[in-house]
Amino acid sequence: MTTIVKPEVKTAEKETVKKNKSSVYKTEQLNLWYGSNHALKNIDLDIKENEVTAIIGPSGCGKSTYIKTLNRMIETIPSVKTSGVINYRDKNIFDKEYQVEELRTKVGMVFQKPNPFPKSIYDNIAYGPRIHGIKNKKILDQIVEKSLRGAAIWDEVKDRLGENAYGLSGGQQQRICIARCLAIEPDVILMDEPTSALDPISTLKVEELVQDLKKDYSIIIVTHNMQQAARISDKTAFFLNGEVVEFDETDKIFSNPSDERTEDYISGRFG
């Protein structure tokens, strides 16, 4: 496992673009408690735009908690308390006057288990635009097609847009959920183990998709799959017991980690 080599490493190209990338998310001294369980401890992370940032770490280390904090979905759990700052595009999302709906309109999320709405494929994709006031049928048609194409599932579903999304396979459902997320053209896409419920072929499709989406979106992806993190991400953050142990270029993390615990984890010695 230590010998994972990232395919198509274009380090030179990446170096040149890196300089003028600005931050989408700057997390500073973030702490989070579930009741008395201190789940995130002094997290500092600076996430750049148009990159894929992978979050890895053993079960229960706080990956999902962190990613759900980024769009404040964590607030649906009443016992949660937070301290610290998360700046999204230079505004602290914890500010009292910060509109959470506005944040979530900018930051899409794909969940571990596909969770389409029990509606037609079309209505699933059109839901987001509709709640944000887009009613025009022609425009909606365009958005639906564009989003489904963007999620690489248009050809599979174009003749059955009126059918219930639950009639699709798990992998197709997950791409519907990605399309649903693309439909409101967010700035950032958060993905919590989006392929853990999928077969290898669907997984590959979603991975290719992520690579593709990087051009227009900033993507933060939680994964348990080391190869996946190595294949698709630019940066990798290694979480352990609610702390960020190491955050660096993915190539560096997988070839030459600076912390021994990272080394142990990616080589499968614990976790």
Partner 1 sequence: MAMNEPQQISVQELIAQKSNRGLLAFTEKLIPKILFLIASVSVLTTIGIVFTLIFETVTFFTEVNIFGFLTGTEWYPFANSTPTYGILPLVVGTLKITGIAILVAVPIGIATAIFLSEYASDRVRRFIKPILEVLAGVPTIVYGFFALTFVTPILRSIYPDIAIFNALSPGIVVGIMIIPMIASLSEDAMSSVPNAMRDGAYALGATKLEVAVKIVLPAALSGIVASTVLAISRAIGETMIVAVAAGSTPGFNWDVTGSIQTMTAYIVQVTTGDAGYGTTIYYSIYAVGFTLFLFTLAMNMLAQFISKRFREEY
Residues that bind Mg ion (CB under 5 A): 64
Per-residue 3-state assignment (H helix, E strand, C coil) for 175-205: HHHHHHHHCCCCCEEEEECCCCCCCHHHHHH
The closest alpha carbon to 222, from 236, 240, 242, 206, belongs to 236
Count residues binding partner 1 (CB under 8 A): 29
State whether the Cα torsion 6-7-13-18 is positive or negative.
negative
The answer to whether 77 contacts ligand ATP (rule: CB under 6 A) is yes
CB of 224 to ligand ATP, least distance (A): 6
Q: Which of partner 1, Mg ion, ligand ATP, none sits in contact with 59, Cβ below 5 to 8 A by type?
A: ligand ATP
Helices and strands (H, E) in the chain, number of each type: 11, 10
Number of neighbouring beta carbons within 10 Å of residue 175: 28
Residue of 104, 149, 160, 214 interacting with partner 1 (CB under 8 A): 104
The answer to whether 131 contacts partner 1 (rule: CB under 8 A) is yes
Residue of 105, 196, 227, 241 interacting with partner 1 (CB under 8 A): 105
Q: Is 269 helix (H, G, I), strand (E, B) or coil?
A: coil
Range in contact with ligand ATP (rule: CB under 6 A) among 52-60, 113-121, 157-165, 180-188:
52-60
The answer to whether 29 contacts ligand ATP (rule: CB under 6 A) is no
Q: At 221, give phi and psi (nearest 5°).
A: -130, 130
Q: Which of Mg ion, ligand ATP, partner 1, none sits in contact with 37, Cβ below 5 to 8 A by type?
A: ligand ATP
Q: Which of ligand ATP, Mg ion, partner 1, none sits in contact with 140, Cβ below 5 to 8 A by type?
A: none
Residue of 24, 30, 47, 61 interacting with ligand ATP (CB under 6 A): 61
CB of 74 to partner 1, least distance (A): 11
CA atoms within 13 Å, Cβ hemisphere of 16: 3
Residue type, 123: D
Count residues binding ligand ATP (CB under 6 A): 12
CA 8 to chain centroid: 22
By CB under 6 A, name the binding residues for ligand ATP. Answer: 34, 37, 39, 57, 59-65, 77
